[in-house]
Structure 1
Amino acid sequence: MTKVISLYRYPIKGLSPEPLTKMAVSHAQGLPFDRAFALALGTTRFDPEVPEPLDKGCFLMLRKNEKLAALGTRLDPETGTLTIRYRDEIVLEAATTSAAGREAIEDFMAGYLGEATEGRPRLISAEGHKFTDVSVVSPVMMKAISVINLASVRALEEATGIFVHPLRFRANIYLDGVPAWAEFDWLGREVEIGGIRFRGARRTRRCAATNVNPETAARDANLPKAILQHFGHTDLGIYLEVLNDGVCSVGDAVTVAA
Structure 2
Amino acid sequence: MTARLAHILRHPIKAIGVEEIESASLSKGRALPSDRRWAVAHEAAKFSGQPEAWQPKMNFLRGVAGPELMAINAACDDAIVTLRHPRAGTITLNMSNAADRDRLVTWLQPLWPDDRPAPSHVVEVPGQAMTDWAEPFISLLSLSSLADLSHHAGQTLHINRWRANLWVEGWEPLRERALIGHRIRIGSATFEIVQPITRCRATTVNPETGASDCDTLAALESLWGHKDLGVYARVLTGGEIARGDAIEVL
Give the structure-2-normalised TM-score.
0.92
Provide the secondary structure at the position in 2 that maps to 1:68: helix
What residue is the counterpart of 1:205 in the other structure? Answer: 198
Deviation of 1:189 after TM superposition, in Å, equals 0.8
Instruction: Summarize the alignment of residues 38-187 of structure 1 with structure 2, pairs less than 5 Å apart.
Output: 38-46=39-47, 48-54=50-56, 56-77=57-78, 80-87=79-86, 90-113=89-112, 115-135=114-134, 142-187=135-180
Over aligned residues, Cα RMSD in angstroms?
A: 1.8
Provide the secondary structure at the position in 2 that maps to 1:129: coil
- Partners of 1:250 and 1:109 in 2: CA distance: 32
- Partners of 2:125 and 2:205 in 1: CA distance: 28
Deviation of 1:242 after TM superposition, in Å, equals 0.5
What letter corresponds to residue 54 of structure 2 in structure 1? E
What letter corresponds to residue 83 of structure 1 in structure 2? T
Q: Render the CA deviation track for 1:178-215: whole Å, top value 9, x for unaligned.
A: 11001111111111111001011000111111111111
Taking a change above 3 Å as real, the CA distance of residues 116 and 196 of structure 1, as seen in their structure-2 partners, is: farther
What residue is the counterpart of 1:216 in the other structure? Answer: 209
- Partners of 2:176 and 2:17 in 1: CA distance: 25
Taking a change above 3 Å as real, the CA distance of residues 64 and 237 of structure 1, as seen in their structure-2 partners, is: same
- Partners of 1:62 and 1:107 in 2: CA distance: 17
Deviation of 1:157 after TM superposition, in Å, equals 1.6
Q: Give the structure with the higher percent strand.
A: 2
Taking a change above 3 Å as real, the CA distance of residues 202 and 114 of structure 1, as seen in their structure-2 partners, is: closer
Q: Render the CA deviation track for 1:124-176: whole Å, top value 9, x for unaligned.
A: 111111111122xxxxxx22110111110011122222211122111111111
- Partners of 2:237 and 2:127 in 1: CA distance: 17
- Partners of 2:84 and 2:152 in 1: CA distance: 35
What letter corresponds to residue 231 of structure 1 in structure 2? W
- Partners of 1:196 and 1:116 in 2: CA distance: 44
What residue is the counterpart of 1:138 in the other structure? Answer: none
Taking a change above 3 Å as real, the CA distance of residues 251 and 144 of structure 1, as seen in their structure-2 partners, is: same
- Partners of 1:60 and 1:212 in 2: CA distance: 15
Asked if 2 retains the 8 angstrom alpha-carbon contact of 1:6 and 1:19, the reply is: yes
What residue is the counterpart of 1:25 in the other structure? Answer: 26
Asked if 2 retains the 8 angstrom alpha-carbon contact of 1:109 and 1:121, the reply is: no
Asked if 2 retains the 8 angstrom alpha-carbon contact of 1:110 and 1:121, the reply is: no
Asked if 2 retains the 8 angstrom alpha-carbon contact of 1:194 and 1:247, the reply is: yes
Q: Render the CA deviation track for 1:63-121: whole Å, top value 9, x for unaligned.
A: 111111333333321xx223233338854333211111111111222344252551342
Provide the secondary structure at the position in 1 that maps to 2:44: coil
Taking a change above 3 Å as real, the CA distance of residues 23 and 120 of structure 1, as seen in their structure-2 partners, is: closer
Q: How many residues align?
A: 248
What letter corresponds to residue 19 of structure 2 in structure 1? E
Which ranges of structure 1 fall in alignment gaps of 5 or more residues? 136-141
Moved more, 107-116 or 117-126: 107-116
What residue is the counterpart of 1:139 in the other structure? Answer: none
- Partners of 1:112 and 1:52 in 2: CA distance: 25
Which ranges of structure 2 fall in alignment gaps of 5 or more residues? none
What residue is the counterpart of 2:7 in the other structure? Answer: 6
